[in-house]
Amino acid sequence: MSRLPLTRRAFITGVGATLAAATLPVVSTSVFAADARAKEFRIGYQKSANTLVLLKAHGTLEKRLAPLGITVKWTEFPAGPQMLEGLNVGAIDFGYVGEAPPVFAQAAGANFVYVAYEVPTPHAEGILVHHDAPIKTLADLKGKKIAFNKGSDVHWFLVAALKKGGVQYSEIQPVFLAPADARAAFERGAIDAWAIWDPFLEAAKRQSNARLLADGEGIVNHHQFFLGARPFVQQNSDVIAITMDEVGKEGEWVRGHYGEAAAQLAPIQGLDAGVIEAGLRHYAHIYKPIDANVLAEQQHIADTFNELRIIPTKIVTRDAALPGAKV
């Protein structure tokens, strides 16, 4: 694994230093108990091709946190926006989402912090059209009905893809649908195109009359983020550091065992192992501490969404960084 741009040890050292600095300003008014030591760690996850699902299945985090007297509670969400709604109301402490959900959450006043990010995974999302559709280029999406999960990472991907094709966001007919409903609408011909992420993307490519119009390559970086409720992260920096250590181990294992990982995820996700393996290979499973460059990209997304009136207010993404982060 020496080929990796950042070793797991270096990553944990970087995150650990940031978290250590973050423990200084403790927020006293929150949904959490006054005691700084949590007794339960509540993690939100999605059934997508990511390491959190495997971390849950393997149970290694529970073993690491048990000596600290901390139990782990896992809550499944259909997509990132719903997960961050859960974080905003205090239902979870930690989660993993794409680049758009944090922008929507921050605009809604959610009190979270960026903990770490996954290096770019542009092939893990795409725009599907019907195999025999006359839509051949991004410019051909003008005037078309396009389904996507509002506030998810593909929301930003679609905006960026339309811009590349010379199409205004106002020139399409957005249809806000969760993945399962969007696939049903796509298969019955109720929509012209569908912006979606893996493993749903790969499943539709193989199982539906679908053709990939474009993925994120050359359009977006498609970062994934680990986020935490600010009070929890500030009061439980050791828990977050341990979690990211275990996440790093899972990512390293996946990169060397795609087939085995897919076989383990197949019964969990209810998809063919071949579909899951293809989706897993579209993600990097390599994580880094939050830095100025990735937050600048988040700022660009936020500014664009505000200009398009997709979010109602301007935000500063650096405000969601931990004290001590290199931003």
Is residue 1 assigned to a domain?
A: no
Task: Report the domain count for the chain.
Answer: 2
For residue 12, give the nearest of 235, 230, 242 by alpha carbon.
242
* pLDDT for position 142: 98
Both tokens of residue 76?
């499944």
Is residue 2 assigned to a domain?
A: no
Residue 119: count of CB within 10 angstroms of its CB: 18
239 and 273 part of one domain? yes
What pLDDT digit, counting tens, does each position of 138-193 carry?
Answer: 999 999 999 999 999 999 999 999 999 999 999 999 999 999 999 999 999 999 99
48 and 91 part of one domain? yes
Residue that has been written with the tokens 């896992």 in this structure? 74
13 and 64 part of one domain? yes
115 and 252 part of one domain? yes
* pLDDT for position 261: 95
The set of residues, in sequence order, having a beta carbon less than 8 Å from that of 59 and lying 6+ positions away, is: none
86 and 46 part of one domain? yes
* pLDDT for position 15: 55
Gap between the Cα atoms of 120 and 286, Å rounded: 9
116 and 126 part of one domain? no
Is residue 25 assigned to a domain?
A: yes
Angstrom distances, CA of residue 322 to CA of 54, 61, 117, 299: 27, 23, 13, 16
191 and 293 part of one domain? no
Is residue 3 assigned to a domain?
A: no
| Structural domain of 23 | 8-121+223-320
266 and 190 part of one domain? no
170 and 265 part of one domain? no
Residue at a domain's end among 215, 248, 268: 215
Gap between the Cα atoms of 306 and 124, Å rounded: 25
Is residue 116 assigned to a domain?
A: yes
Is residue 90 assigned to a domain?
A: yes
Residue 170's CATH number: 3.40.190.10
Is residue 325 assigned to a domain?
A: no
- Give the pairing type, strands 173-176 and 145-148: parallel
Q: Which residues of the chain fall below pLDDT 50?
A: 1-8, 20-34
The set of residues, in sequence order, having a beta carbon less than 8 Å from that of 86 and lying 6+ positions away, is: 44, 75, 77, 92, 95
Is residue 248 assigned to a domain?
A: yes
Gap between the Cα atoms of 278 and 20, Å rounded: 38
211 and 229 part of one domain? no
Angle between helical axes of 292-307 and 153-164 (0-180°, round to 10): 70
Long-range contacts of 181-187 (CB under 8 A, 24+ apart): 182/147, 182/148, 182/149, 183/208, 185/147, 186/128, 186/130, 186/147, 186/210
256 and 202 part of one domain? no
* pLDDT for position 19: 55
Residue at a domain's end among 188, 215, 242: 215
Residue at a domain's end among 186, 215, 244: 215
Gap between the Cα atoms of 78 and 55, Å rounded: 18
Amino acid at 250: E
The set of residues, in sequence order, having a beta carbon less than 8 Å from that of 127 and lying 6+ positions away, is: 138, 141, 146, 157, 158, 161, 193, 194, 195, 212, 213, 214, 215
Residues 275/80, Cβ–Cβ less than 8 Å:
no
* pLDDT for position 115: 96
* pLDDT for position 29: 33
136 and 182 part of one domain? yes
